[in-house]
Amino acid sequence: MIRELKLKGYSKKTITSYVRQVQLFLHRTGIPAELVRREDVVLYLEKLQNITGHLNRSTAAHVISGLRALYRSMGKKGAANPAEGIPYPKHELRYPDILSKEEVKRILRATRNLKHRFLLMLIYSAGLRVSEAVTLKLNDLDFKRNLIHIRQGKGKKDRFVMLSRTIGGAYQEYRACYPVKEWLFPGADITAHLSVRSAQSIFYNAVERSGIKKNVSIHSLRHSFATHLLENGTDLRYIQELLGHKSSRTTEMYTHVSNRDIRNIPSPLDEL
C-alpha cells in the first residue's frame, strides 16, 4: 500500500495519515482485513459521527481513501473493494477568521525575536503555507528579481511568488544576528530546518502577546494575505497562482470573506 502511494506521488504526510486511519479502523473494528465488507466501513463512519456528534470531512475522506488504497494493493477492485463507491462527506462551508492589516501589525510588533518576526513577515508577505516557509533555503530568495522560489509545494509543484520590497531590511537584520548556512530558518540543529510545530508555537505566542482574541492559526496569515490582495483589487486569477491553488473554486472562498464590496453597501439605518 505504502509503496503504491509513493509511486503515485502522494506526500509523506498524506501517506502517514492514510496508514494511521487504516490501522485505527482495523484495530477499532477488530475485523480481519480480508473479511471487511462495505457495510462495516459505513457503520464505522456512522459510529465516528455518533461519538463526536460531527463527522470531520478530512478524517472520513482519509478513512475511505486509505481503505481503498489498502484493498487495491491487495488486488481487490470494483465491488470487491469494500471502500469503493462510499461517497465522501460534503465540504463544510466554513469561512476562516481574517486578520485585519492592523492586527497583522500588532502580531508582528508583539514578536520580539528577529528570527521569529522575519518568519511571520515572510509568510504574510507572500501567502506561504507554513510548511513552505520553514523549508525555504537561502538561494530560494531572489532579491534582484523580487521573487521567492517555492520548491515542491502542495501537490509537489514549484511556483514563484513575490518577494516584498520592504522585507529586505528585516532580512539583513536577521542575517546579521543568526548563523544561516543552508536553511533560511534552521532549527536547534542548524543542519535541519525549523519544524512546522515550532513555527505554529511562535505564531500562537505572538497572538497571545498581541491581545487578539480571534480564533486564528499561522495559516490565517495566508488567508489574510489573499483577502487583503483581493480587497486591494488584485485579480482572483493572480491570487490563485500566488497561492498555488489547483482549482479557482478554492480561491473563490476569499470573495466571501472579503469585505471589499460589502462595506460599500449602505445600511438602511444610515438613511433614517
- Looking at the structure, do residues 15 and 108 belong to the same domain, yes or no? no
User: Considering 68, 116, 193, 222, which one is annotated as catalytic?
Assistant: 222
Q: Which of the residues 38, 137, 154, 159 is marked catalytic?
A: 154
Between CA 183 and CA 146 the distance in angstroms is 19
Amino acid at 75: G
**Sheet with strand 147-150: strands edge to edge:** 141-142, 147-150, 159-162
Coil, helix or strand at residue 252: coil
* Catalytic site residue from 129, 193, 223, 228: 129
> What's the first-to-final CA gap in the chain, in angstroms?
67
Residue 254: active-site member:
yes
User: Both 154 and 223 in a single domain?
Assistant: yes
Q: Both 73 and 117 in a single domain? A: no
* 75 and 159 together in one domain: no
pLDDT at 90: 74
Query: Same domain for 136 and 184?
Result: yes
Domain identity same for 31 and 161:
no
129 in active site? yes
Helix axes 101-109, 196-210, angle to 10 degrees: 100
Give 179-234 pLDDT, tens digit per residue: 888 999 999 888 899 999 999 999 999 999 999 999 999 999 999 998 898 888 88
155 & 199 share domain = yes
Q: Examine the residue annotation and report whether 12 is marked as an active-site residue of this protein.
A: no
Pair 67, 154 in one domain:
no
61: domain range? 2-80
- Among candidate residues 48, 80, 112, the one where a domain is terminated: 80
Instruction: State yes or no: is 156 an active-site residue.
Output: no
Are 122 and 69 in a shared domain?
no
- Decide if 148 contacts 135 (C-beta within 8 A): no
DSSP 185: S
Low-confidence ranges of the chain (pLDDT < 50): 269, 272
Last residue of a domain, one of 46, 80, 114: 80
pTM over 0.85: no
Cell digits of residue 121 = 513577515
Q: Are residues 246 and 115 in the same domain?
A: yes
Residues 21 and 141 in one domain: no
Report the CATH number that the domain containing residue 36 is assigned in CATH.
Answer: 1.10.150.130
Give the number of domains in the chain.
2
Indicate the burial class of 64 (C-beta count within 10 angstroms; 0-12, 13-18, 19 or more).
buried
219: DSSP letter? H
Residue 86 domain-assigned (yes or no) = no
